[in-house]
């Protein structure tokens, strides 16, 4: 008779049958674990063409480019959105020179350039 050694390591991607995290002694039908995403991160190409060229130790310190939101983007406040609601869309388009899509994005509280919001605020204040 021979003994088969089974690996005893916790399964990090699953939950135990009772819904708790797995341990080395967990047995039975494993459950799915849920994953909640944090903030989204935009990462550039994760390879470097120099990897194909040879054994260069400086390549082990390679880190991919991570793109972040620009500091020039901002969201409209409640007062500005309320002022926009009082005026017709076409009138705001003529006064500001902004497109309908841009004005709708501001109204829907999506991030736009700070300069765009400044143009809109200035035209609403002068009217």
Could you tell me which of 80, 85, 64, 78 has the C-alpha nearest to residue 118? 80
Task: Report how many domains make up the chain.
Answer: 1
Each residue of 86-121: pLDDT tens digit?
A: 999 999 999 999 999 999 999 999 989 989 999 999
Are the C-beta atoms of 80 and 107 separated by less than 8 Å? no
Domain of 100, CATH number, reads: 1.10.260
Higher per-residue pLDDT: 5 or 13? 13
Residue 105 burial (CB count, 10 A): 17
Residue with token string 């736009």: 112
Q: Locate tokens 């143009």: which residue?
A: 119
Q: Is residue 21 part of a domain?
A: no
Q: For residue 117, what are the domain limits?
A: 73-126
DSSP 35-60: ----S--EE-----GGGGT---GGGG
pTM of this structure: 0.47
Work out the number of other CB atoms within 10 angstroms of the CB of residue 12: 8
Of residues 74 and 52, the one with the higher pLDDT is 74
Q: Is 3 a member of any domain?
A: no
Average pLDDT over residues 20-42: 81
DSSP state at residue 115: H
| pLDDT higher at 80 or 54 | 80
| pLDDT, position 1 | 46
User: Helices marked H in the chain — which ranges?
Assistant: 78-85, 89-96, 100-107, 114-126
């Amino acid at each position: 008779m021979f003994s088969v050694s089974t690996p005893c390591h916790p399964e990090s991607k699953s939950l135990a049958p009772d819904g708790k995290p797995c341990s080395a002694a967990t047995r039975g039908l494993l459950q799915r674990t849920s994953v909640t995403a944090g903030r989204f991160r935009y990462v550039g190409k994760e390879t470097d063409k120099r990897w194909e060229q040879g054994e260069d130790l400086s390549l082990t310190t390679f880190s991919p480019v991570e793109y972040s939101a620009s500091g020039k983007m901002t969201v409209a406040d409640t007062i500005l959105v309320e002022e926009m609601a009082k005026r017709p869309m076409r009138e705001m388009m003529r006064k500001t020179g902004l497109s309908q899509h841009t004005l709708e994005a501001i109204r829907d509280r999506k991030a736009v350039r700070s300069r765009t919001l400044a143009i809109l605020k200035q035209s609403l204040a002068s009217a």
